[in-house]
Amino acid sequence: MLWSCVYCQYIDSENYHDHLIRACKNKQTDVVLRTIVQHIDKCELDKVDEFGDTFLILACTNDMSNIATYIVNNYYDKCKLDQVNIHGNTALIVMCNKNMNNIALKVIKNHYSICKMEQVNEDGNTVLMIACHKGINVV
């Protein structure tokens, strides 16, 4: 754990986004949160990778609901909530698939106009279809 605490100090300033993605994929919540809080101006949360994923989609995919909640609450304007990855998923679709009900509801309530509710993923499902199938009654 010491590695993850001191690692942030040695990041090349142009690689904050890559560091954030690596920490997210390794589920290092403390590193992700520290990096965002201390270096939000360098994190490029709105950057899209070669698979069409934003940091928010990756955070949700990696079951980091507390990070997703923090980002949506504080930096929703950098989240690209309308971004669709190569699997046809938006962050909201992933939230519903991962049963992140509270944050999904907050996104719908506060940012409905940019949510792409009609988006169909590679499985042929929309956000509402996933929510109904999983019995998520908050959506």
pLDDT digits (tens, 9 = 90+) for 24-65: 888 999 889 988 888 888 888 898 989 999 999 999 999 999
How far lies 39's CA from each of 4, 61, 106, in Å?
15, 23, 25
Q: Report all structural domains of the chain as residue ranges with CATH numbers, in order of start.
A: 2-134 (1.25.40.20)
**pTM given for the model:** 0.85
